[in-house]
Amino acid sequence: MWIATTKGLTRFDGLKFTAVDFFENGNEPSQKTLPDALYVDRMGILQIGSAAGLTQFNYKTRRFTTLTAKDGITSDRIRVINEDVKGNLWISFDVSYLNRFANGHFTAFNASHGLGDKKINAIVEDMGGNLLFGTRENGVYIFHGETFSKFEIPGLDKGYLIITMVEDRDKDLW
């Protein structure tokens, strides 16, 4: 289990806690490097989202790699990271819509792709292989090909703030 705090990263292996240095300047955190989102991908790489970009940490080799705007990622504080069944990372930001990281390349998605909200709080791939994106102000969107469309949920209108979503074993979206 990985835990992000204002003092850095901590890993719990079931028996003990181990601190992992993650700061640019030794033990002093900066606002840029404070972890905002954590996700362990299928390869066991810890994906760390912050205002500095996307940092990938391989715990076995103890190596960090940080991807920034120079590498094509949107320059904004990362809000959510999730992975789809194809191994693509989906990254949402505080105010800048969404990126997909696939085959070493970032693709930015925005209103021109059908997204009706910049602030995406939840990313879920359901058991049917549909990618769903819960927004802060405009409900849920579904990804088709390279575009998004509104995903209507009975009883859920535009006025709901989506904080998180999960699909249960019965394929019900919560």
pLDDT at 147: 96
Among 63, 64, 66, residue whose Cα is nearest residue 53 = 66
pLDDT at 35: 83
Walk along the chain (174 residues) and give the pLDDT tens digit of each residue: 888 877 778 889 899 998 877 655 454 545 556 788 999 999 999 999 988 899 999 988 888 889 999 999 999 999 999 999 999 999 999 989 999 999 999 999 999 999 988 999 999 999 999 999 999 888 899 999 899 999 988 877 666 788 899 999 999 888
pLDDT at 81: 97
Among 162, 167, 173, residue whose Cα is nearest residue 117 = 162
Listing DSSP states for 94-126 in one string gives SSS-EEEEETTEEEEE-GGGT---S-EEEEEE-
Q: How far apart are CA 118 and CA 11, in angstroms?
A: 32
pLDDT at 8: 74
pLDDT at 34: 76
Task: Check if the beta carbon of residue 54 is closer than 8 Å to that of residue 32.
Answer: no
Task: Check if the beta carbon of residue 123 is closer than 8 Å to that of residue 131.
Answer: yes
pLDDT at 120: 94
